[in-house]
């Protein structure tokens, strides 16, 4: 997935963010700043990060108008250092002020996700393991947050409940067992991933032709043992409390994938400053 800011979901997210913050108008700027006053705004990194979401500046300013020039100096996925300039914008000072917080909120949040995604992917470098994101995203911002995860080097897991079959614990219980759940899922016409909690469930899933198994909340030693049992009969995804500090240990167990909800649900915002210079 590229950082596609033309997607209708992205345009709608920008529209809603601007409406939420500006409402009927920026009363402070409209009272204090001259209507024709012009300025240049510069976005500056205040810490090392992996950048994501800078392409959103274009639709943000386009929706508000009053901008003469936008120069993006680094694109999503770039690894930038402290004090690097990210982008510059010239135009009406009122526009730059009213868009400041929305622009920073997107940039700081999405770059935070890209940065932690990069920590995970850096940790497993040199292994066959790939890092997956999850559906643990901010409601309404999933597409953007998954774009940010990808900018950091992670691979997107399913976008939602509609584009992949993943049989989890509650599905197994509702169906009456592993075999019953897998038999029903065959009618979906999609590849099937199934979560297993015990060795017995693992054996049953493999016996019914499972090609992708999810092993959750195992210690590395357990994971390595289970993966040896699988012996290449299915691809293996590990999940459950894995951090950038433990990711390599799990990857070296032989896992094909590690999925980490922390990439989106626990990413801290990075520090980006917006400096305004008056003309």
Whether 115 and 172 map to the same domain: the answer is: no
CATH number of the domain residue 251 falls in: 3.20.20.70
pLDDT digits (tens, 9 = 90+) for 25-52: 999 999 999 999 999 999 999 999 999 9
> What integer pLDDT is reported at residue 247 of this predicted model?
98
Tally the domains of the chain. 2
> What integer pLDDT is reported at residue 3 of this predicted model?
85
Domain assignment present for 3: no
Active-site residue flag, 75 = no
Active-site residue flag, 101 = yes
Active-site residue flag, 136 = yes
CATH number of the domain residue 25 falls in: 3.90.1170.20
Residue by residue, pLDDT tens for the chain (279 residues) are 578 999 999 999 999 999 999 999 999 999 999 999 999 999 999 999 999 999 999 999 999 999 999 999 999 999 999 999 999 999 999 999 999 999 999 999 999 999 999 999 999 999 999 999 999 999 999 999 999 999 999 999 999 999 999 999 999 999 999 999 999 999 998 989 999 999 999 999 999 999 999 999 999 999 999 999 999 999 999 999 999 999 999 999 999 999 999 999 999 999 999 999 998
Whether 126 and 115 map to the same domain: the answer is: no
CA geometry: angle 94, 72, 80, nearest 5 deg: 115
Query: Residue 53: which domain range?
Result: 8-119+268-278
Which candidate in 145, 195, 204, 237 is catalytic? 195
Which candidate in 75, 79, 101, 135 is catalytic? 101
Tell me the sheet residues that pair with 39: 91, 278
Q: Decide if 158 contacts 188 (C-beta within 8 A).
A: no
Which candidate in 168, 184, 197, 233 is catalytic? 168
Whether 50 and 144 map to the same domain: the answer is: no
Which candidate in 58, 100, 122, 216 is catalytic? 216
Whether 141 and 38 map to the same domain: the answer is: no
> What integer pLDDT is reported at residue 59 of this predicted model?
97
Active-site residue flag, 216 = yes
Distance separating alpha carbons of residues 48 and 216, to the nearest angstrom: 32
pLDDT digits (tens, 9 = 90+) for 84-134: 999 999 999 999 999 999 999 999 999 999 999 999 999 999 999 999 999
Which candidate in 38, 135, 136, 184 is catalytic? 136
> What integer pLDDT is reported at residue 215 of this predicted model?
97
> What integer pLDDT is reported at residue 54 of this predicted model?
98
Distance separating alpha carbons of residues 76 and 53, to the nearest angstrom: 6
Distance separating alpha carbons of residues 233 and 206, to the nearest angstrom: 7
Whether 134 and 105 map to the same domain: the answer is: no
Whether 226 and 162 map to the same domain: the answer is: yes
Domain assignment present for 1: no
Whether 98 and 176 map to the same domain: the answer is: no
Whether 82 and 147 map to the same domain: the answer is: no
Domain assignment present for 170: yes
Distance separating alpha carbons of residues 5 and 202, to the nearest angstrom: 42
Whether 27 and 59 map to the same domain: the answer is: yes
């Amino acid at each position: 997935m590229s950082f596609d800011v033309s997607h209708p979901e992205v345009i709608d997210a920008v529209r809603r963010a601007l409406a939420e913050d500006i409402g009927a108008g920026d009363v402070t700027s409209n009272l204090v700043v001259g209507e024709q006053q012009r300025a240049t705004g510069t976005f500056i990194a205040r810490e090392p990060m992996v950048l994501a979401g800078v392409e959103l500046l274009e639709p943000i300013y386009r929706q508000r108008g009053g901008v003469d020039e936008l120069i993006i100096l680094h694109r999503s996925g770039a690894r930038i250092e402290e004090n690097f300039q990210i982008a510059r914008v010239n135009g009406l000072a009122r526009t730059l002020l009213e868009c400041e917080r929305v622009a920073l909120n997107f940039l700081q949040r999405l770059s935070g996700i890209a940065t932690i995604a990069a920590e995970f992917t850096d940790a497993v470098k040199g292994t066959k393991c790939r890092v997956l994101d999850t559906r643990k995203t901010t409601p309404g911002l999933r597409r953007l947050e998954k774009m940010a995860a990808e900018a950091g080097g992670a691979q997107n897991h399913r976008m939602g409940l509609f584009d992949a079959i993943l049989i989890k614990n509650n599905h197994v219980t509702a169906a009456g067992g592993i075999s019953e759940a897998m038999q029903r899922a065959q009618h979906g016409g999609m590849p099937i991933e199934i979560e297993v909690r015990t060795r017995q469930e693992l054996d049953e899933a493999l016996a019914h032709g499972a090609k992708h198994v999810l092993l959750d909340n195992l210690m590395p030693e357990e994971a390595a043992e289970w993966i040896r049992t699988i012996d290449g009969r299915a691809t293996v995804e590990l999940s459950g409390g894995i951090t950038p500090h433990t990711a390599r240990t799990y990857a070296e167990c032989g896992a094909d994938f590690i999925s980490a909800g922390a990439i989106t649900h626990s990413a801290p915002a990075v520090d980006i400053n917006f400096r305004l210079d008056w003309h």
